[in-house]
């Protein structure tokens, strides 16, 4: 009864186009998410492989921005389901641990959540270990910085736990563009002996 009354007063609506009476991502908006279906192997960087589920464009890019900057957390559940779907489909359950890419605690306090942790929420809880990687330094947002400034911005920003030694790690993030953030995470994990590090993101330009 209460749920029905609440639904009448605050009808559910699509968080992307605003149409009422549908889930937080409506079918039309869902159709605007274009699968990337491509992963790359990166033998020359600390990151061993990189997979993005959707092109970072249109509705998919809007979803990333709405979740992160507008804090529309109703998007967390359907987006986490996309991540879980790709994780199963690609056989990534073979990894020893999933580590959401960390944000600095001050940013987390301001935002109220880490979007990467929200996106990891549908993955098996026993696999998800945010405590294995810390962001020890607050960095400027990478957006708007050129390549060399992006690299410098991230130097020494992450510290991994000794617990990662000998384990294969899957990093999860919302979006990847240059891949520098994940590479710096991977370097910190490999410095502590991680055997293999990959990246799964919701959207990307790869
Ligand atoms: Zn919609």
Rounded to two decimals, what is the model's pTM?
0.92
The answer to whether residue 174 scores a pLDDT higher than 80 is: yes
CA dist 127 and 113 (Å) reads 19
Average pLDDT over residues 11-31: 93
CA dist 67 and 173 (Å) reads 12
Q: Which two tokens stand for residue 5?
A: 């009354």
Model confidence pLDDT, tens digit, residues 102-136 = 999 999 999 999 999 999 999 999 999 999 999 99
Please report the domains of the chain, with CATH numbers, ordered by start residue: 1-31 (no CATH), 33-204 (3.40.50)
Give residue 12's pLDDT: 87
| Confidence tier at 149 by pLDDT (50, 70, 90) | confident
Rounded distance from Cα 27 to ligand 1 centre (Å): 7
What is the residue-averaged pLDDT of the chain?
92
Rounded distance from Cα 124 to ligand 1 centre (Å): 28
Average pLDDT over residues 75-97: 96
Rounded distance from Cα 82 to ligand 1 centre (Å): 16
Average pLDDT over residues 37-59: 85
Give residue 142's pLDDT: 79
Nearest Cα neighbor of 63 from 81, 75, 54 is 75
Residue, of 35 and 4, whose pLDDT is higher:
35
Nearest Cα neighbor of 199 from 85, 92, 81, 96 is 92
Rounded distance from Cα 134 to ligand 1 centre (Å): 35
Rounded distance from Cα 59 to ligand 1 centre (Å): 9
| CB neighbour class for 130 (10 Å; exposed up to 12, middle 13-18, buried from 19) | middle
The answer to whether residue 34 scores a pLDDT higher than 90 is: yes
Residue, of 155 and 72, whose pLDDT is higher:
72
Give residue 191's pLDDT: 97
Listed residues: CB within 5 A of ion ligand 1? 14, 16-17, 26, 29
Give residue 3's pLDDT: 66
Rounded distance from Cα 120 to ligand 1 centre (Å): 23
Give residue 39's pLDDT: 67
Rounded distance from Cα 34 to ligand 1 centre (Å): 15
Rounded distance from Cα 75 to ligand 1 centre (Å): 11
Polymer length of the chain:
206
Rounded distance from Cα 149 to ligand 1 centre (Å): 36
Residue, of 44 and 168, whose pLDDT is higher:
168
């Amino acid at each position: 009864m209460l749920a029905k009354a609440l639904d009448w007063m605050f009808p559910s609506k699509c968080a992307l186009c605003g149409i009422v009476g549908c889930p937080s991502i409506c079918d039309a908006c869902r159709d605007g998410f274009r699968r990337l279906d491509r992963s790359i192997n990166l033998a020359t960087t600390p990151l061993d492989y990189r997979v993005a589920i959707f092109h970072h464009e249109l509705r998919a890019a809007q979803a990333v921005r709405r979740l992160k900057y507008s804090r529309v957390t109703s998007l967390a559940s359907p987006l986490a389901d996309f991540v879980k779907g790709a994780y199963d489909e690609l056989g990534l359950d073979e990894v020893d641990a999933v580590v959401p890419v960390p944000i600095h605690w001050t940013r987390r306090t301001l935002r109220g959540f880490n979007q990467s942790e929200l996106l990891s929420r549908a993955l098996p809880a026993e696999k998800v270990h945010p405590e294995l990687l810390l962001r020890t330094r607050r960095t400027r947002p990478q957006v708007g910085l050129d390549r060399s400034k992006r690299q410098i911005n991230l130097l020494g920003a992450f510290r991994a736990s000794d617990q990662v030694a000998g384990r294969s790690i899957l990093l999860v993030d919302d979006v990847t563009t240059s891949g520098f953030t994940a590479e710096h995470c991977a370097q910190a994990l490999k410095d502590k002996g991680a055997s293999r590090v990959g990246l799964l993101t919701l959207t990307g330009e790869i």
